[in-house]
Structure 1
Amino acid sequence: MTTLSVFHQDQPEKAHTVTSDASEIRDMMAEHGVRFERWDTRDLPADASQEEILEAYSDEVASLKQECGFQTADVVSLQADNPQKAAFRQKFLDEHTHSEDEVRFFVRGNGLFYLHFGDQVYALLCEKSDLISVPDGTRHWFDMGPEPEFTCIRLFTNTEGWVAEFTGEDIASRLPRYEVLAGAAG
């Protein structure tokens, strides 16, 4: 279930706000310039190719490209049996920013985005049918969990794809990880 938990950065042991209401999540995210939407999903085989996935969502992807100036779209997918899953998880677990919006649409599975605004951290557990667009310059990190199972469409304005600028802050290590928050949401 899509769930938003809000923490004070100095009190990471307890969320002061938790909601699973999609419209409330959308409104709370919009206050910080974050786009959150729920899209209708398509029934696709578990082994659908990148081309099949992009074709199934071609209208939505084309609309976002036109609206936001994205140049390219691809599909990222990770399963729990991937021998590199721990390394992939670690790559995204430190707070960072980007010089472009980070857009993800969850075709299947889930993942946890942490967004750091002032002294608040918004932990948004996204799932199948969720679209999130994190504005450029936003401090954030992503936790796919120890047994990742997700497929996402990604859109980029930079044709080189994902490029991060790490902040060097340790805040990501102080907040509850996927195992805690996804377990609490389930």
Structure 2
Amino acid sequence: MRAFYFDNIPGDQRLPHDSGIPVSDELLKSIGVLHWHIPASQQDQINAIAEERHCNNRDIVSVTKEGLGDAYEATLKIFYDEHMHEKEEIRYVLEGSGFFDVREHSSDVWIRCYLTAGDLFILPAGIYHRFTLDENDMIKAMRIFWDEPKWIHVHRDSSTDVNPIRVNYLKALGVN
């Protein structure tokens, strides 16, 4: 995985938008974002991380133009809409690639994380983020869940800033 500050230049969201300013693993950890590169042959490492986080459910999701058909553009729009989840989000990229953008809490700027096959990515509950494919228009990922697989996002607005999950996320970072 490679992380860098988003350049904020208007244009296709699937372009890299690389500002040329890298983001360190330490900074990502400071906002609760964790990642590993795990070859597909090392499923035991993925299983260990899932078990450590008390996750016992998984599914596979493929996001492609062919697979989504007429819903492709609308689905990408939903994924790219800034949101948070009330549960931790865990993804393991099996094939393809894409971008997860996360908000740096202190500055509210976007950090772009480029994920490719073998990357396992964990976002804490309460972090503002968004997702888009890159120009290859394809990703196949394993979603790892606690309960039954489901994807519920909470769109960012004034009510999410006071959402207890968001408040707890900020408290965990030391923000009052």
Q: Same-fold call, TM > 0.5?
A: yes
Among candidates 15, 19, 24, match of residue 15 of structure 1: 19
Over 3 Å counting, the alpha-carbon distance change for 1:40 and 1:61 in structure 2 is: closer
Give the total of aligned pairs: 146
Is the 1:95–1:168 Cα contact (8 Å) retained in structure 2?
Answer: no
Aligned-residue RMSD, C-alpha: 2.3
1:101 and 2:100 matched: no
- Select which of 124, 130, 136 maps to 1:141: 130
User: What whole-Å deviation, never above 9, does each CA across 1:27-83 have from its counterpart, x for those lacking one?
Assistant: 3321211111100124xxxxxxxxxxxxx83x2343123200113111111223231
Larger mean Cα displacement after TM superposition, 74-83 or 93-102 = 74-83
Distance (Å, rounded) in 1 between the aligned partners of 2:53 and 2:139: 24
**In the TM superposition, what is the alpha-carbon distance from 1:85 to its structure 2 partner?**
1.6
4+ runs deviating over 3 angstroms? none
Alignment of 1:114 with 2:101, yes or no, is yes
Q: Classify the secondary structure of the residue corresponding to 1:151.
A: strand
Judge conservation of contact 2:97–2:136 (CA < 8 Å) in 1.
no
Q: Secondary structure at the match of 1:159?
A: coil
User: So what's the TM-score if we normalise by structure 1?
Assistant: 0.69
| Structure 2 residue runs without a partner (length 5+) | 10-17, 159-176
Q: Where does 1:77-92 land on structure 2 (aligned, <5 Å)?
A: 77-82=62-67, 83=69, 84-92=71-79
Matching residue of 1:69: 54
Identity of aligned residues (%): 19
Where structure 1 has 5 or more consecutive residues not aligned to the other structure, the ranges are 43-55, 170-186
